[in-house]
Homo-oligomer: A and B are copies of this chain.
Amino acid sequence: MGSIERREREREDKRRQILDAARELFVEEGYDAVTMRKVADKVEYTPTAIYLHFKDKEELVREVVTQDFLKLGQHFASIAEIDDPIEALSAMGASYLDFAQKYPNHYRLLFMTKLPQTTEQLPEHHGNPSLDAYALLCVLVHKAMERGLFREDLTDAEFVAQLLWSGMHGIAALRISCPEHDAWIQFRPAKALGAEMSRDLMAGLLRNPPGRPRARPSKSASKPKRRR
């Protein structure tokens, strides 16, 4: 039994090495340019050995994408416990940026790399809020709408979801591309940009936005207070 378990663990380790190598290659060179041989070379396997784990490149990319969506879903695990949907949406935005910063290659694979169509049809994920981040986002927006928290003219939950996603994706994507832009642009910390993004979008979306640092036009000497 011990020996079977050990062999099983070795198999899992190898599988993970292959997946990590494949992710890096897909992200760096693009899906089309990657061959099973390149992946094998990177983990120092023979091409034959790699086929014992994955029957072809398509199965490999599907597994990488599945694993990475799962990882993103786990990153959002605590969001579902927040009752207030606006608070949950802000927490989700911050968590999304944190994921992009911690796992830039996972992020690039999921949201910045052209992948074959087949990876978009993982039926076990689609619409399941614990595996499908977009579904979770839509559920939260829908909940906020049902509670009458957004402006009355906002009735399309997916429109609002895509707006919020775009705001965070823009920060994450520019931040990841930033080393290339270093010569020109000193990109500000993603976390601070994300907090301001959430705050400002909510100021426009909410029916009754909370107090602002400078709501009154008066020129009082009091220092403006930043909301969290």
Whether A204 pairs with B204 at a CB distance below 8 angstroms is yes
Q: Determine if A40 is an interface residue (Cβ-Cβ < 8 Å).
A: no
- Complex CA gap A95/B224 in Å reads 33
Residue numbers in B under 8 Å from A201 (CB-CB): 197, 200-201, 204
Q: How far is the CB of A156 from chain B (nearest CB, A)?
A: 7
Indicate with 1 or 0, residue by residue over A151-162, a CB within 8 angstroms of chain B CB atoms.
111001011001
- Complex CA gap A178/B115 in Å reads 11
Residue numbers in B under 8 Å from A173 (CB-CB): 112, 169-170, 173
Residue numbers in B under 8 Å from A168 (CB-CB): 170
A30 in complex: contacting residue of B29, B180, B214, CB < 8 Å: B29
Q: Counting chain B CB atoms within 10 Å of each CB, which of A152, A182, A202, A203 scores highest?
A: A203
Q: How far is the CB of A145 from chain B (nearest CB, A)?
A: 13
8 A-B interface contacts by CB (under 8 A) = A114-B177, A120-B182, A120-B183, A162-B174, A162-B193, A167-B167, A204-B204, A204-B212
* Given A120-B182, A152-B224, A200-B203, 17 new contacts (CB under 8 A): A115-B180, A117-B180, A117-B183, A120-B183, A120-B184, A126-B184, A153-B214, A158-B186, A158-B188, A159-B188, A163-B197, A163-B200, A166-B167, A170-B171, A200-B201, A200-B205, A204-B212
